[in-house]
Amino acid sequence: MSNYIATPSRTKEILNKYKFTFKKSLGQNFLVDVNILQNIVKHAGIDKDSGAIEIGPGIGALTEQLAIHADKVVAFEIDQRLLPILKDTLGDYSNINLIHQDILEANVKEIIEENFAPDQKVHVVANLPYYITTPILMKLIQDKLPVSSITVMIQKEVAERMAAEPNTKSYGSLTIALQYYTEAEVVMVVPKTVFMPQPNVDSAILKLNLREKPPVHVQDEDFFFDIIKASFAQRRKTLQNNLKSFFKDKYDKDMITDILLQSGIDFKRRGESLSIEEFAHLANTFTNALQK
């Protein structure tokens, strides 16, 4: 079948037929390159036995490729104007369940149970709007969903931040949060020229393989993330200064210095120089000292 949705001519034809106008507030940029979509599906590990969850199908370009290669596709679309278009463009595929709902408000776990077999491998695959990438990814990860991987097309700069190494400009609290729950890898860069309308920046495909258990042991997960957040509050400040100002209403400054000394981590270092193992050690030292 060569009349795929993801070609410039077919996309224009669909948009004209429905007099569709792009909503900037929803970050709508439709991909018009079939090869890239097929590559995304391949990187996601989709096969005839897999289930796929898509977020923001648009006019169905990626949905179509997922439907061709997967057993079943569940697609979440927030924009009501796209529902009749999707019913038309995807009418030939019987293995798609289109849900008109905001993914951030959906009970995704329940929807997975209703749509896929208990032992079926489920993958999230999506071209995510730039403005809401992080909240969507954190929800999917923190909801501890029964999914094997999450493969998303996002802004290149954000993808680099999510897969960054310590001591780099891109490394931050988001990197460590994702590293805690997943193994992150940028698998492909996508030029802005293959979108309609063309965005201002290039994109990248980020693949997140969900970990069975975190790479580090922490006694208090919430506190571990507080320590990370505090350490990156002002990137140019030292660990000691960041922690003192973040926890100023809770803990005495001298106490913070004492705990830092106990941890053996040089408090003149900056947050961006600490590995996830060092953050775990620091958080556990604090947890133990505060329990005494």
pLDDT at 167: 94
Residue 77 marked ligand-binding:
yes
Cα 113 to Cα 85, 108, 130, distances in angstroms: 27, 9, 29
Joined together, the tokens standing for residue 87 give 């019913």
Set out the domains of the chain in order of their start, with CATH numbers: 8-210 (3.40.50.150), 221-291 (1.10.8.100)
Residues in the chain, pLDDT under 50: none
Residue 62 marked ligand-binding:
no
Residue 56 marked ligand-binding:
yes
pLDDT at 108: 97
Residue 60 marked ligand-binding:
no
How do residues 249-259 score in pLDDT, each as one tens digit? 888 889 999 99
Residue 143 marked ligand-binding:
no
Distance, in Å, from the CA atom of 232 to the CA atom of 171, rounded to the nearest integer, reads: 10
How do residues 11-65 score in pLDDT, each as one tens digit? 999 999 999 887 766 667 889 999 999 999 999 999 999 999 999 999 999 999 9
Residue 209 marked ligand-binding:
no
Which of 214, 221, 224, 235 has the alpha carbon at shortest distance from 171? 235
pLDDT at 4: 95
pLDDT at 23: 75
Joined together, the tokens standing for residue 214 give 């975190």
Cα 242 to Cα 162, 175, 245, 284, distances in angstroms: 22, 18, 5, 18
pLDDT at 160: 93
pLDDT at 26: 67
